[in-house]
Each structure stands twice: as C-alpha cells, then as structure tokens.
Amino acid sequence: MSHPLLDTLRAAIGAAHVLTEGDLSAWEQDWRQRQRGRALAVLRPGSTAEVAACVRACAAHGVAVVPQGGNTGLVVGSVPDESGTQVVLSTTRLTAVRGLDRANLTLTAEAGCVLQNVQQAARDAGLLFPLSLAAEGSCTIGGNLATNAGGTQVLRYGNARELCLGLEVVTPQGEVWDGLTGLRKDNTGYDLRNLYIGSEGTLGIITAATLKLYPQPAARLTAWAAVPSMQAAVDLLGLAHQHLSAGLTGFEVMNQFALSLVDKHHAHLRVPLWRESPWCVLLENSDDESEEHARARFETLLEAALAQGCVSDAVVAENLTQAKNLWHIRESIPLAQADEGLNIKHDISVPVSRIPAFVQETDALMAREIPGVRLVDFGHLGDGNLHYNVQAPEGVDPAAFLRTQEERINTLVYDSVARHGGSISAEHGVGSLKAATLPHYKPAVALELMRAVKTALDPHNLMNPGRVLA
C-alpha cells in the first residue's frame, strides 16, 4: 500500500514493522471478540525514539493513533475503528528491563514487557513485583498502567497506579517526557504520572515505567473457606484484617453458580466445598517470618471465624501445588463462563460495607426482571471490586440474550451500583464499551474537567479517539 504517511513510517521504523497486508486480526480484533476494526497500518516501533517518530508523522498527517499493548483489555479500548484511517501502534517490541535498583527497590521496564516477565525479573533478584492478574502471561506493563489494572493483590499493594513511581511518555505531538524517577517524594507541581496512568492511551503513549518492588515474603499460604452469606464473607474479611494485618494479601469471593461452572467445564480442578455453601472465599496470607508462623496465624483466624459463625468449613493448602490449584479455580471462572456461552460482564466497585446489601438487592431485582437469569458473582471482595456477570437462562440462546438484553441489564446493574455509592468500572477501564454510559454516572463537573485535560494535551483528538470520553 502506497501512502505518503506510510512511506514516512517505513523510513522511520523499517518496512518490516509497518504492517498493512495479510491477517491483522491479532491487532484489529479485541480479546473478547466484541469488535473487529480495520487499521490503515499496524506499527511496531522498537524504541522510544521510534514511537516518537511515528507519533510525529501521524500528527503531521492528522491520523489518529490507537496505542496497544497485549490487547487483553475487556472494554474495547485498544483496537481501531472500522474506517481504515487509524493506525495501531503496538508496543510489543519495547521489551527491555532497563535496570533494577536493589537499594531503591525499583525496576525500570519498557511498556511492552509482559507482566509475567517483570514479575520474574524481580523474583530473580530475590524481590517481588506484586501486580498479579489472570492475563499476566500476555498483558503488558504499558497496558497495565494505561488502564490502572487491579488484580488479586490490590488489597495489600494497591492498583497499578500505586506500584509506579515514574513514567516515560510520548506526547500527542511526538515529544518525549522523561519522568522515570525512582523518587518516592517529589512535591514539584502537578502529578503528571498519575494523569497518564488510567488514561487508556487518550493523553499519550507510555513507553517505560519505574516500578516499586518489595521483599519476597518468607511464606505464602492459601486457604479456602465456605461462608453462609455475603455478609459472612464481609465479617470474615474484618477478622482477617484483625488477625493477619498487612499479611492479608488476597481475599476473593465466589458464588455457588460461578464455582458450579468451573466444576462443570473444568472438573479436573476439583472445586472444594462449593456444593454445600452459597459462597466460598479464597484467602492469601503472606508472612515475613516463617511458614509455621503463617500457618499458626491462619489457624487462629479460622478458629475465630468458625466460632463466630461466618465460616462453615475451611481448608488450608498443604503445599504450593494445592495453593496454585485453588488460585487456578478462581482464575478459571471467566473461562468456564465463556465455555457456558456468551455473557454480560460487569466490573463494578462498591464500598465493602455496602456489598451485602448491593448483592441482595440486585440479585432480587435481576431475578424479578428476568426469570431464570443466572448470576456469576465473584471478585476481589477485599477491595470492594465485584465481577457481577449475567448468564442467559437455561435454554435461551446466549447470542440473542446478549443482543436483546445487554443494554437493559447494564442499566439495572449500574443504577443499583449508583444507589450504593459505587463505580461502573473498578479495574477494566472505560474504553469505547462504556464511554457513552459514563456521563450517566459520572458528575458533570468531573467530565468537564476531564474534557479540558484532553483538549489541552491532545487538541486534535488524535490519541485513541472515542475512548473514555465519547
């Protein structure tokens, strides 16, 4: 394909890395297969300087840029539209770990580094990078930061934002901001780092980041508990905070139907306790002393929980293999749900204290409005984040259910979230999937401020247009 912009891009990064022909579905279709776009070209720059050159060329030609990392997002935020006029800029060749500072407990990695590789680089140095999520074998650090990813250890370590000290960013004009500081204190004006984190590529392209590291715990133990209600799960969380303090690094909740799908589609995982209980909880205790100390604290916690009645039964993993299997069960819920058929996903957050009332009220509402509806309710209870997913009734065509009911169900769920003081997106972002919905649940003043920032930094709306702000 001949095009003045493409000729410039080929000269800047090499013709082999300007893709216009063949099967581009890996870049043009989102992970959930909700949307397939068409790109003018897919660009694969190999350095920050090449990213900047690509952006400058696109800005000069008025061509929109869609930044993309591992393309594992769930809100259609990193694929092109159908116009054939946008370029996808993939960061997957930016894979270097530029440095690791043991004394400062930091690691600097390029945006295309796969999360699992960053975890391993920290582990090789005897340290911990705690961001952990199901897609860690394919998602990238740049995408994690662009969406402010959460995962299973937010309870102890925070979202991606809390794990980042500095950024390198290419602006919409093709300039490079080198903010790769390892400073934990820097009170010299606006916090640009936090502005770019969570902006989903709409304000610039993250090309590298300086990340926080932590000492590896001496021991990590996992327990699985059956609880009689969501309120009991919240009560157990309170006891876990009391008994484990900062050692509590994971607290996941799963409803019976979610676990029944894992048992149905992944029976080899042998899900414990799910048949006898409406809810199960997965807890992780990371201990700085020893496995014996960790186990003793866990046992004390579970004894107190059994005595109080917020746990009906529990098992503690005896070894690493058992612990990994328990986590695998939790992480297999989305896969099992996909095996069951197309479904409607919600990534919502509600104050922990309000979650039992939210679940009770919304479950009843859904059952009343859609007889036979099946609810896959699971997530990170420790930080108030639930994946409140909706499966079609038995015998109803999933595709037709999605096509005819999604908007109605979203409104029912999001209105309930709003009544309970929550957010319609906890960790997946807004993307294009929720951009038109956001104004119904975000204060008008907040939206005005966001638009002002977007206009100031990207006045020609060339960075990931149509995402976050419709």
Which pairing describes strands 87-90 and 41-43: parallel, antiparallel, or unpaired? parallel
Q: Are strands 219-227 and 176-179 parallel, antiparallel or unpaired?
A: unpaired
- Bridge partners (DSSP) listed for residue 423: 349
251 three-state secondary structure: strand
Nearest one of 341, 345, 362 to 418, comparing CA atoms:
362
Residue 136 per-residue DSSP state: T
The whole-number average pLDDT for the span 374-380 is: 96
**Tokens read off for 142:** 């740049």
Q: What is the pLDDT of residue 230?
A: 97
Hey, what are 426's tokens? 């906890």
Mean pLDDT of 102-121: 98
CA-CA-CA-CA dihedral for 120, 126, 132, 138, to nearest 10: -10
Report the pLDDT value the prediction gives residue 260, as an integer from 0 to 100. 97
Distances 90 to 21, 65, 146, 251 between C-alpha atoms, Å: 16, 10, 13, 34
pLDDT tens, residue by residue, 140-156: 999 999 999 998 899 99
> Locate tokens 């300086």: which residue?
210
Question: Residue 3 has what pLDDT?
Answer: 78
pLDDT above 70 (res 23): yes
Contact criterion met (CB below 8 Å) for 198 and 431 = no
Give the model's pLDDT for residue 1: 60
Query: Has domain 97-215 been given CATH number 3.30.465.10?
Result: yes
Q: Is the dihedral of CA 131, 136, 141, 144 positive or negative?
A: negative
Domain spans in the chain, listed from the N-terminal domain onward: 4-90, 97-215, 219-334, 341-419
Q: Which pLDDT score is estimated for 33? A: 79
In this prediction, residue 2 has a pLDDT band, given cuts at 50, 70 and 90, of low
Residue 349's closest CA among 427, 403, 287?
427
User: What does the pLDDT look like over 185-229, one tens digit per residue?
Assistant: 999 999 999 999 999 999 999 999 999 999 999 999 999 999 999
The pLDDT value given to residue 31: 84
**CATH code given to domain 4-90:** 3.30.43.10
CA distance 438 to 466: 12
- Kindly report the number of other CB atoms within 10 A of residue 61's CB atom: 16
Return the pLDDT at 192.
96
Average pLDDT for 118-124: 97
Q: Which two tokens stand for residue 84?
A: 């054939």
Question: How far is 99 from 106, CA to CA, in rounded Å?
Answer: 8
Residue 387: is its pLDDT beyond 70? yes
Q: What's the rounded Cα separation, in Å, for the pair 371 and 374?
A: 9
Is pLDDT at 74 greater than 90 in this prediction? no
Q: Does domain 219-334 have CATH number 1.10.287.130?
A: no
pTM of the model: 0.93
| Cβ contact 219:205 at 8 Å | no
- Do domains 97-215 and 219-334 share one topology? The answer is no
Element (H, E) at 421: none
Position 470 scores a pLDDT of 82
Q: What is the share, in percent, of the chain residues with pLDDT greater than 70? A: 100
Q: What is the largest CA-CA distance in the chain?
A: 74
pLDDT the model gives residue 141:
97
Helix H or strand E segment including 115: helix 115-124
Percent over 90 (pLDDT), the chain:
93
When pLDDT is averaged across residues 430-448 and rounded to a whole number, the result is 95
DSSP 282-351: EEEEEESS-HHHHHHHHHHHHHHHHHHTS-SEEEE-SSHHHHHHHHHHHHTHHHHHHHH--EE--EEE--
Instruction: Say if residue 330's pLDDT is above 90.
Output: yes
Cα–Cα distance for residue pair 220/206, rounded to 1 Å: 33
Residue 231 one-letter amino acid: Q
The residues near 386 (Cβ < 8 Å, ≥ 6 apart) are 253, 346, 348, 349, 350, 355, 359, 377, 378, 379, 380, 426
| Residue 35 pLDDT level (bands cut at 50, 70, 90) | confident
Contact 287, 297 (CB under 8 A): yes
Pairing of strands 65-68, 87-90: parallel
The better pLDDT of the pair 369, 320 is held by 369
**At 320, is the pLDDT very low, low, confident or very high (cuts 50, 70, 90)?**
confident
Express the helix, strand and coil content of the chain in percent, nearest 5 each.
40, 20, 35
Structure letter (DSSP) for residue 373: -
**Class of domain 341-419 as given by CATH:** alpha beta
